[in-house]
Amino acid sequence: MSGPGGWWRRKSTPAKIETYTRWSFHSFAGIEFVSAGAPVFGQVGPRLATLLMSLAAVHSVLCAVTASRALDWLRGGREQPVRTLWTLGAATTVTAVAALLVAAHGPAGENVDGAAGGVFAVVVTFGAGAVAIGVRGRRRVLTSVAGFAAGTLAVAAALGMPVVVALFTTLVVLVGGGFFAFTYLFSGWLLNAVYELDEARETRARLAVAEERLRFGRDLHDVVGRNLTVIALKSELAVQLAQRGRPEAVTQMVEVQRLAHETQKEVRDVVRGYREADLAGELAGAQGVLTAAGIECTVTGPTAGLPAPVQAALGWAVREAATNVLRHGDARRCTVSVRVLAGRVVLTVENDGAPDGGGTGRGSGLVGLRERLAEIGGTLRAGPAGSRMFRLTAEVPLPSDAGHAAAVPAPREANEVAS
């Protein structure tokens, strides 16, 4: 069962920012309704207040729907919401004209003029901003906002509004609409940038894996390619000599056998060098891959002076732990620590990406790692370590002659791989 806020923790960082952006747009609709509708009560009668409040409520809902659909369009999830934009434009015009008619022909009194004028200015300002997010191109956005301001001036002049008031209202619409248009568009641009950065991180992680595969492939090609070419030539020569009954065929096949054994040994050396990289290299590689995947990784502890078998075993543990962090859960932080205690080395890898139900720590990779550690007397513990936390602990005994030397590393060496 997921705890409180589990739905939020399960979201990726771009998805969280998208959710925040959408609800910010919805909050703009609430701000519009409160700004336009709340001051109406107490200033005009119940009938006019209900009319103006209803117009403001409908317009704010249309603004929220338009902003949401326009954001989907900016993200490439749907076609441009042209009909929704025209609907919002028409609703803005109707609401603005209705508010001005109330101000011009409604009951006499300054309160009526102020309430209706406030509804007019707020509705047109938010309408101009919401329409701008569904328009592509800076020039079209500016034209859209300027068009709302020009329409405000034209309607105000047609209804006989004083020149000073009409100009001031037009300026409010121009500045306010431009501000909200910039806010909407900047939020959409920022959301797209976050998604692109997330895709770039994933690409970087995949490139790191591909680069390692290419390196391994190059090593195998360099080692095996030449020997296999010689083996093929000598085999053909041996076949030809054997067909002619020449005794030299045996010599050639002996040479082929020697080359085959030599190639087999060299391949084992390449694979052993790949599998048994030193602990410092594995820690640096794991930190680089996790960071490229957007996971904050911290590495601490000494690695210098440890025996080769211990480094090889712990290197495998680091590689398996990093793979599990990438493949399972949705980690945001990972800490790796190496401690040299009395007679043993302890490696601890902890991350906050465990599933809500916790991991079992019994995957096939961990089973193989336990067997590998058991060969040199080591142990492995893996499992939940609190809310959404997963901890892997590997302990490997130190040889008696290396225990004291490795237990007290130099201060500089103890921080060589610290993040």
pLDDT, tens digit, 9 for 90 and up, residues 320-344: 888 888 776 678 889 999 999 888 9
Tell me what pLDDT residue 393 has: 94
pLDDT tens digits for 144-159?
788 888 877 887 777 6
The pLDDT value recorded for residue 234 is: 81
Phi, psi of 247, rounded to the nearest 5 degrees: -70, -15
Tell me 390's DSSP state. E
Under 8 Å between Cβ of 413 and 401: no
What angle do the packed helices 163-243 and 279-292 form, to 10 degrees?
Answer: 140
The whole-angstrom separation of Cα 397 and Cα 229 is 45
| Whole-number Å distance between alpha carbons of 202 and 293 | 6
The least confident of 90-99, 309-318, 402-411 is: 402-411
On the question of pLDDT at 347 being above 90, the answer is yes
User: pLDDT for 265-319, tens place per residue?
Assistant: 877 777 766 555 568 888 888 888 787 677 889 999 887 788 888 888 888 888 8
Task: Using alpha carbons, select from 258, 277, 174 the residue that is nearest to residue 219.
Answer: 277
Residue 43, Cβ neighbours under 10 Å: how many?
18
Rounded to an integer, the average pLDDT of 160-174 is 78
H/E stretch holding 61 reads helix 46-74
Among 180-184, 194-198, 205-209, 391-395, the range with the most confident prediction by mean pLDDT is 391-395
C-alpha to C-alpha distance for 58 and 41, rounded to whole angstroms? 17
Nearest to residue 209, comparing CAs of 289, 282, 319?
289
For 20-60, the DSSP string reads HHHHHHHHHHHHHHHHHHGGGBTTB-HHHHHHHHHHHHHHH
Threshold 0.85, pTM exceeds? no
Does residue 230 have a pLDDT over 80?
A: no
What span, in angstroms and rounded, lies between the C-alpha atoms of 285 and 205? 11
232-270: burial string, b at 16+ Cβ within 10 Å, e else: eebbebbeebeeeeeeebeebbebbeebeeebeebeeeb
Nearest-angstrom CA–CA distance, 240 and 236: 6
Percent of the chain residues topping a pLDDT of 70: 82
Average pLDDT over the chain, rounded to an integer: 78
Enumerate residues 6+ apart whose C-beta is below 8 A from 416. Answer: 280, 302, 303, 304
Longest dimension (CA), the chain: 125
Q: How many C-beta neighbours within 10 Å does residue 14 have?
A: 18
pLDDT tens-digit series, residues 359-387: 555 556 788 788 888 888 999 998 888 77
